[in-house]
Structure 1
Amino acid sequence: MKNIFFTVLSLLIINPVTAQNNHEQEDSLMLRKIYDMSLLHGKSYDWLDHLSNKIGGRLSGSYQAQQAVEYTKAELESLGLDKVWLQPVMVPKWTRGSKEFAYVETSPGTTRNVNITALGGSVSTPASGTKARVIEVQGIEDLERYGEEQIKGKIVFFNRPMRPDLISTFEAYGGCVDQRYSGAAEAGKFGAVGVIVRSMTLKMDDYPHTGSMSYGETPVSKRIPAAAISTNDAAYLSGILKMNKHLQLYFKLNSEQHEDVQSYNVIGEITGSEHPEEIMVVGGHLDSWDIGDGAHDDGAGVVQSMEVLRLFKEMGYKPKRTIRVVLFMNEENGLRGGNKYAEVAKSKNEKHIFALESDSGGFTPRGFSFDADEAQFAQIQSWKALFKPYLIHYFELGGSGADVGPLKQGDVVLAGLRPDSQRYFDHHHAATDTFEHVNKRELELGAATMASLVYLIDNYGIKRINTDVEEKL
């Protein structure tokens, strides 16, 4: 009798462990298949080649943006998904016009050209351009210190650099991007006639980086033109200002804001076999700035997201839950696509449990950041060992993606793919954001990493904290 008792007890203890080991082995093999398929037979690089080199920069409201909508919809349809559709969304339309021009005049007739680009949403200069003395500030907070007396009638030069001592380049970017976004609105309150902003990059080069800006509640008649200046030219301007505070800067912008136009989010779906009502999203934004071809920002995220569903179809994997790829329109200058998708989902009472966005470039994947509660995060961290063979180690709370952010409510877990960030801002919003700067293998590793996480969440679901608590009570 005693032997039988110990035998039963042993089975009760060993069987759960054995079952867990079996699950881990099955999951490990599945991840290996996903990575093999992406690296050996991937489609993401070819898709990106077309988006970048056949279509190019895809600014919201542009002909190229519409071409991208049509191309990606056709490619998703070719994968044999259960459903592919376009979701209409009204987007802003801003055009840059002819190439910008600027020079520094140190004395009458003595000039040096500098590299600038209009910030997205900026008004144009007068037809003859804008020319004025320059005042250098280190950030928006500096404006109050100088006041209207020193700023009125001048061009404000925002020259706060990204901090090079911060390991996370996204943290460095966040520390100074306010001067780009709100600098014109704030400088205008002190009577400035224009704004020049140091490009948001750690690299010293001659390429200015554009990006969105806002005038807030500033009346149209009082809006002042705003442009980014390359880091090399920012250093030159700052240095020469120390010797000659009376120099003048001339710049000419030809940009124009138009009426909103209709565009689309592109959506494809594999319907879940067991829990079709539970929806998982993987996506990136289809629009990009116009001065490059948007290969890293965010062509990479678009094709990686498409590849997640293609990999599952090619492998014959039938997800338990519904998986959608969403290619969002207008992340760069409005977030209209992300807001529209969340609005429609709410109106249909759809049940989203997870959303993953890739919008940090196509560099070597390091892991993910999560917007989740502690219990959900603990569940996800339990899978971390499965990613170790692929050198994926970064699993951290904090942040996801701009387009999936509007989906946050209740138990929904949001995530962002986190590639190595050290080179991202070399290309971000610049003319150098082009296809040749994307490494095929790094792009494919990112797609496989995304697919692996989606597979695990599909297989095990997401902890529903409220339900767990209720059951325990």
Structure 2
Amino acid sequence: MKRFLLLLLILFTINISAQTDAETLKTIYTTSLTNGKSYEWLDYLSNQIGGRLSGSLNAEKAVAYTKEELEKLGLDKVWLQPVMVPKWVRGAPEYAYIETGPGKTTTVNICALGGSIATPYGGLKANVVEVQGIEELKKLGEANIKGKIVFYNRPMQADLIQTFEAYGGCVDQRYAGAMEAAKLGAVGVIVRSMNLRLDDFPHTGSMTYGDLPNSKRIPSAAISTNDAETLSTMLALDKNVKFFFSQSCRQLADVQSYNVIGEITGSQYPNEYIIVGGHLDSWDLGDGSHDDGAGVVQSMDVLRLLKESGIKPKRSIRVVLFMNEENGLRGATKYAEVAKQKGENHIFSLESDAGGFTPRGFSFDCSDAVFSKIESWKPLFKPYLIHYFEQGGSGADVGPLKTETNVLAGLRPDSQRYFDHHHAANDTFEHVNKRELELGAATMTALVYLFDTYGIAPISNSNQIKD
């Protein structure tokens, strides 16, 4: 009986090793779609833990949960990497209204931007100056800004198909708007939410005061797109409209947190590392299902799918769940710092931080020669409707690992609905589709498999039978 079982194991191993790449990818996709774990993990992360702001109790719970789940997979190594992170707390719910006359007010939806200071006790009320961006603000000058609330109302550009490009085109007003307005004597800042649709959800996000002293800092909040339209219309009718808002957020001392790391040690090249990851922290308004719970669980499932598919990696494959992407990038910085100290050779790093929607492909930060090789893999992904292979950016968390020779990549799901949920209270589990999430996990696993099998040196043909 033992000999029979041993023979079956040998035959199974020979069969796996003799599979073509197309057959191996089919196994990966089938396993993910019929026996995936990503959706189950996300359910717990989102509904049992919730929003995971850096330094919070929920972030601690997420570290413990994901470490425990990785340990259950039977990986070769699982560990926590300490990192100091900022601790910003929102405090009591924000409140705001537009005042058109004594006793005539319209309540609007706002949320404090991450890193903002609080308003004075009892709130802040002042006249409003609407601008389309920082350049217009500077042209108006101190005479027109001092003592007022600046309302940044530049929308995301709707005719850009690449929604991340639209986001990048206006996010500077959120990030640096308060700093620049404070230099001109403004008393507060309201920023139109980074959202392509009109709704009532304010979208938070990180902001900075630069090197402004504490005494010069002013409170900053996001306003929903519907209410931004309302405020703009009221200002067009009456420049004397006032705006009131109250928020009690504050910045506390840094606290210790962790990156969560798991590894399958390579069988042939254990000192060559391939990493896949997402960020474990999220903003606090929703439960962070798309940003970036989806990327976390997809990355975890990459290692599980490799094992379930009978693939024994040649190179060491790591999943890294980064802490503090949203308001500091401390986890990514720490991971890259430790990797450099140890002289670790990270040949390929893949990040998922663009939501759990249907995967469309990848963007690659690499040389032209390596990209030519990557493009030769494109036919392998065509049966799964993965067509987008482009040179470009990768992801914030893998960015610090870039060298002259390695490859960084980002999973690119369909992004048309992503900013409806990004950093808002409706970034919740119910808005993630199980099948789309599992397709993304399989797509990431397939790419990791190919990089592990063939490395990063250009080759003439990758769709071959492996020896």
TM-score (norm 1): 0.93
2 CA distance for matches of 1:415 and 1:378? 15
SS at structure 2 position matched to 1:319: coil
1:379 to 2:378 alignment: no
The equivalent of 2:306 in structure 1 is: 312
The equivalent of 1:444 in structure 2 is: 438
The equivalent of 2:179 in structure 1 is: 185
SS at structure 1 position matched to 2:271: strand
Contact 2:197 2:225 in 1 (8 A): yes
1:370 to 2:370 alignment: no
Match of 1:63 among 54, 57, 66: 57
Identify if the C-alpha distance between structure 1 residues 424 and 250 changes in structure 2 by more than 3 Å, giving closer, same or farther: same
Give 5+ residue unaligned stretches, structure 2: 1-16, 460-467
User: Residues 383-407 of structure 1: CA distance to partner in whole angstroms, max 9, x if unpaired?
Assistant: 0000000000000000001000000
1:174 to 2:174 alignment: no
1 CA distance for matches of 2:131 and 2:19? 58
The equivalent of 1:231 in structure 2 is: 225
The equivalent of 1:6 in structure 2 is: none
Match of 2:202 among 180, 203, 208: 208
1:13-92 → structure 2 map (5 Å cutoff): 26-92=20-86
User: Residues 313-358 of structure 1: CA distance to partner in whole angstroms, max 9, x if unpaired?
Assistant: 1222110000000000000000000000000000000111000000
The equivalent of 1:278 in structure 2 is: 272
User: Residues 13-58 of structure 1: CA distance to partner in whole angstroms, max 9, x if unpaired?
Assistant: xxxxxxxxxx997000000000000000000000000000000000
The equivalent of 1:344 in structure 2 is: 338
The equivalent of 1:144 in structure 2 is: 138
1:115 to 2:75 alignment: no
2 CA distance for matches of 1:126 and 1:188? 15
2 CA distance for matches of 1:220 and 1:37? 54
Shift of 1:410: 2.5
1 CA distance for matches of 2:282 and 2:420? 16
Shift of 1:463: 1.5
1:397 to 2:391 alignment: yes
Shift of 1:145: 1.4
The equivalent of 2:424 in structure 1 is: 430
User: Residues 51-72 of structure 1: CA distance to partner in whole angstroms, max 9, x if unpaired?
Assistant: 0000000000000000000000
Match of 1:463 among 436, 439, 457: 457
SS at structure 1 position matched to 2:457: coil
Shift of 1:304: 0.2
SS at structure 1 position matched to 2:62: helix
The equivalent of 1:130 in structure 2 is: 124
The equivalent of 1:409 in structure 2 is: 403
Contact 1:411 1:464 in 2 (8 A): no
The equivalent of 2:4 in structure 1 is: none
SS at structure 2 position matched to 1:182: helix
Count residues in correspondence: 444
SS at structure 2 position matched to 1:81: coil
Match of 1:198 among 164, 188, 192: 192
SS at structure 1 position matched to 2:20: helix
Contact 1:184 1:225 in 2 (8 A): yes
TM-score (norm 2): 0.94
Query: Alignment identity in percent?
Result: 73
1 CA distance for matches of 2:309 and 2:167? 39
1:163 to 2:157 alignment: yes
SS at structure 2 position matched to 1:200: coil
Contact 1:55 1:64 in 2 (8 A): yes
The equivalent of 2:213 in structure 1 is: 219
The equivalent of 1:11 in structure 2 is: none
1:356 to 2:350 alignment: yes
Amino acid corresponding to residue 383 of structure 1 in structure 2:
W
SS at structure 2 position matched to 1:414: strand
Contact 1:367 1:392 in 2 (8 A): yes
Q: Which runs of 4+ in 1 moved over 3 A?
A: none
Contact 2:369 2:458 in 1 (8 A): no
2 CA distance for matches of 1:111 and 1:255? 24
Shift of 1:464: 7.8
User: Residues 248-306 of structure 1: CA distance to partner in whole angstroms, max 9, x if unpaired?
Assistant: 10000100100000000000000000000100000000000000000000000000000
Amino acid corresponding to residue 115 of structure 1 in structure 2:
N
Considering only aligned residues, what root-mean-square deviation do their CA atoms show, in Å?
1.3
Give 5+ residue unaligned stretches, structure 1: 1-22, 466-473
The equivalent of 1:96 in structure 2 is: 90
Structure of larger gyration radius: 1
1 CA distance for matches of 2:458 and 2:124? 58
2 CA distance for matches of 1:120 and 1:131? 21
2 CA distance for matches of 1:251 and 1:412? 48
The equivalent of 1:9 in structure 2 is: none
SS at structure 1 position matched to 2:245: strand
User: Residues 76-114 of structure 1: CA distance to partner in whole angstroms, max 9, x if unpaired?
Assistant: 000000000000000000000000000000001100100
2 CA distance for matches of 1:317 and 1:29? 12
